[in-house]
Amino acid sequence: MTAPLRLFNSLTRELETFHPVHPGEARVYSCGPTVYNYPHIGNMRAYVFADILGRTLSWKGYKLTHVINITDVGHLTDDADAGEDKLEKAAAAQKQSIWDIRDHYMEAYLADVAALNIRPPAQWSIATEYVPAMIAFAEKIAPEHCYELDSGLYFDVSTVDDYGKLARANTDEGEGRIEAVEGKRHPADFAIWRKTPPGETRQMEWDSPWGKGAPGWHLECSVMSGRLLEFPFDIHTGGIDHREIHHPNEIAQNQAFCHTDGLGDPANSGARIWMHNNFLVERSGKMSKSAGEFLRLQLLIDKGYHPLAYRMMCLQAHYRSELEFSWEGLGAALTRLKRLVMAVETLKARHAELGSASIGPLSAEGWTLKRVQGDEEVMANFRSNIEGVDEALSDDLNTAVALVTLDFILAAKKSPPSAGLKAVAAIDAVLGLNLLSLKRSDLRLRPKDATVSEPEIEDALTRRKAARAEKDFATSDAIRDELAAQGVEVMDGDPLGWEWRL
C-alpha cells in the first residue's frame, strides 16, 4: 500500500518507477569526496541528498546497501586529463605526506557527515585500497577498448555505443575538454592509467602492465561500484557536474567491462538509474574553495548556526533545483527548525501532562513506513498525513512537501500527543532533523567569538526576572543594558520563544 517510488533518471531524462535489480534490495553508490581540502557546504549538499535517497529507500522497506568512496588518488585539478593530482598538489603546498593530507581531510569530511546527521553508508571505500582491482579491470578492457601512449593507457570512447549519452554537452566535439595530451585519438578519450613520467618518482605510484603510475579517477568509481555492488546495481549518485565528464566516462568503462565480461548487454551502464543533485550557489556564482569566504560547515557553526539548520536549508529545496546560499536563508531555515522543535516540545509536554503510558523511547531510529502503517493510533489520526509524506518522498524525493505535511501533524491540536510524537518519529526517520532530541536551547545562535558564556547569560536573566517580579525595573533595566553591552539582545515576549540572541 505504499506509493510507487519514482526517481528522475539523468540517463533517460525521465521520472522512472524504481524496480530493484535484486527484489527487496536497493544498492546505491555515491561519488564521494576528493580529500585534498575541506569540503564546502555545496559538496555536503550532495551527501545530504544521497542520505535522503538512502533513508527513503530504507523507510519504504528496501534493504539498503550504500557505498560512498573516498578519492585519495587520481583526481586531477582538471576533470579532463590535464593538471596535477589534487592530493599531490596539496601535499606539496602544505609540506606534508599525501597520507597525512588524506587522513586530515577525510576526518574533517566525516565530522561534517556526522554533524549533518548523514547516516554512514554500509561501506566507505577508499580508492588506494582498490588499486590491484583497478589494474585487473583495466587489463580486462584494454585489448578492445584502450590504447597506450607515452603518458598512459587511454580509453577509446568510439569503442562503446552512445558515448556521452548522459552528458548535456556535445561530447562529439569534445566540448569543455582540453586536448592536453598528444596522440589522443578523440578529444573525449581519457586516461584510465597515468604513467609516472620517466625520471620522476611519485609519492603514490604502483607497478602495472603499463609501467609505474596511478589509476585515473573515473576508473576508481567503476571498479569500486562494480566490486562492491555488482553490475548492474540500482542507483549511482553525484553532483550535477559529474553528469558531464566523470559519469559518462564511468558508464563507458562499465559498458566495456560488462561487454567483455559477457554480461550480454553491451549498453549496460553499470547502474540502472543515475541521479544528480543540483548545485548550491553563491550570489556571485559557483561555490569555490578558493574565492571569497570559504563556506565550510565549520564556518556556519563558528558563526553560531546549528549544523542541522543547513540540513533544513537543503531539505526546503528540491535536490534538482539550484539552491542559493545566503545567511538570511540559513537564518530562516534555523527559525523553521526551531519552530518544529518547539512544537515537538509542546507535544511532549502535553503527553507528560496526560500522564499517559510510556510510548517507549522517543527516537526516530527504526521507523519504517510498514511500522507506522501497523500502528493503529498513528494511522487513526494521521493516515492522510503519513500517506502524504510517502507520496511526497516517492515523487522524486520531494522533501519540501514532506516538511509541509509535518507542519500539519504538529498543528493538529486535537489528536492524542502520543500519536503525534510517533508520527514525528516516523517522519524524522527520513528527514533526519533530530526533531525528538534537539532542544530549543541547542538552536540558539551562539557565535564562537562571543565573550559571554551561556550560564552567565542565564544567570543574568534569572536575576532580571526576579527583579521584574519585585517591580524593581531599575535593576531589571540595568541587567538588560549590561547584557546589551556584551552583545546580548534580550528578547522579551518573542513569538518564537527566543529569550535572547547574541
Residues that bind Zn ion (CB under 5 A): 31, 221
* CB contact burial 143-161 (16+ within 10 A = b; e otherwise): eebbeebebbbbbbbebbe
- Which listed range, 206-214, 235-243, 350-358, 457-465, lies at the site for ligand AMP (CB under 6 A)? 235-243
Of these, 52, 280, 312, 460, which contacts ligand AMP (CB under 6 A)? Answer: 280
Shortest distance, position 36 Cβ to ligand AMP, whole Å: 8
Site for ligand AMP in 10-39 (CB under 6 A): 31, 33-34
- Do the bridges between strand 63-70 and strand 123-126 make them parallel or antiparallel, or are there none, so unpaired? parallel
Task: Rank residues 145 and 246 by Cβ distance to ligand AMP and give the closer one.
Answer: 246
Taking a C-beta distance cutoff of 8 angstroms, is the pair 148, 210 a contact? yes
Task: Rank residues 40 and 236 by Cβ distance to Zn ion and give the closer one.
Answer: 236
Taking a C-beta distance cutoff of 8 angstroms, is the pair 480, 499 a contact? no
**Site for ligand AMP contains 46 (CB under 6 A):** yes
Shortest distance, position 10 Cβ to ligand AMP, whole Å: 12
Residue in this structure with the C-alpha cell 517522519, named with its chain if needed:
427
Residue 125, binding choice from ligand AMP, Zn ion, none, Cβ under 5 to 8 Å by partner class: none
- Do the bridges between strand 152-155 and strand 146-149 make them parallel or antiparallel, or are there none, so unpaired? antiparallel
Residue 239, binding choice from Zn ion, ligand AMP, none, Cβ under 5 to 8 Å by partner class: ligand AMP
Cα separation, 259 vs 253, whole angstroms = 10
**Site for ligand AMP contains 279 (CB under 6 A):** yes
**Site for ligand AMP contains 239 (CB under 6 A):** yes
Q: Count other Cβ atoms within 10 Å, centred on residue 419.
A: 22
**Site for ligand AMP contains 108 (CB under 6 A):** no
Residue 158 φ then ψ, to 5°: -80, -5
Sketch the per residue contact string, 367 through 406, with ligand AMP: x for CB under 6 A, - otherwise: ----------------------------------------
3-state secondary structure of 214: strand
Shortest distance, position 62 Cβ to ligand AMP, whole Å: 22
Cα separation, 258 vs 249, whole angstroms = 14
Task: Rank residues 30 and 415 by Cβ distance to ligand AMP and give the closer one.
Answer: 30
3-state secondary structure of 297: helix
Of these, 10, 43, 253, 254, which contacts ligand AMP (CB under 6 A)? Answer: 43
**Site for ligand AMP contains 249 (CB under 6 A):** no
Residue 213, binding choice from ligand AMP, Zn ion, none, Cβ under 5 to 8 Å by partner class: none
What does the block give as the cell for 103? Answer: 587522513
**Site for ligand AMP contains 54 (CB under 6 A):** no
Sketch the per residue contact string, 283 through 312, with ligand AMP: x for CB under 6 A, - otherwise: ----x-------------------------
Taking a C-beta distance cutoff of 8 angstroms, is the pair 332, 360 a contact? no
**Site for ligand AMP contains 416 (CB under 6 A):** no
**Site for ligand AMP contains 177 (CB under 6 A):** no
**338-341: Cβ within 8 A, 24+ apart:** 338/440, 338/443, 338/496, 338/497, 338/498, 339/496, 340/406, 340/407, 340/410, 340/433, 340/435, 341/435, 341/438, 341/439, 341/440, 341/442, 341/443
Cα separation, 124 vs 30, whole angstroms = 10
Task: Rank residues 189 and 220 by Cβ distance to Zn ion and give the closer one.
Answer: 220
- Which listed range, 199-207, 234-242, 249-257, 393-401, lies at the site for ligand AMP (CB under 6 A)? 234-242
Number of amino acids touching ligand AMP (CB under 6 A): 15
Cα separation, 30 vs 69, whole angstroms = 7
Write out the residues near ligand AMP by the rule CB under 6 A.
31, 33-34, 42-43, 45-46, 238-239, 241-242, 277, 279-280, 287
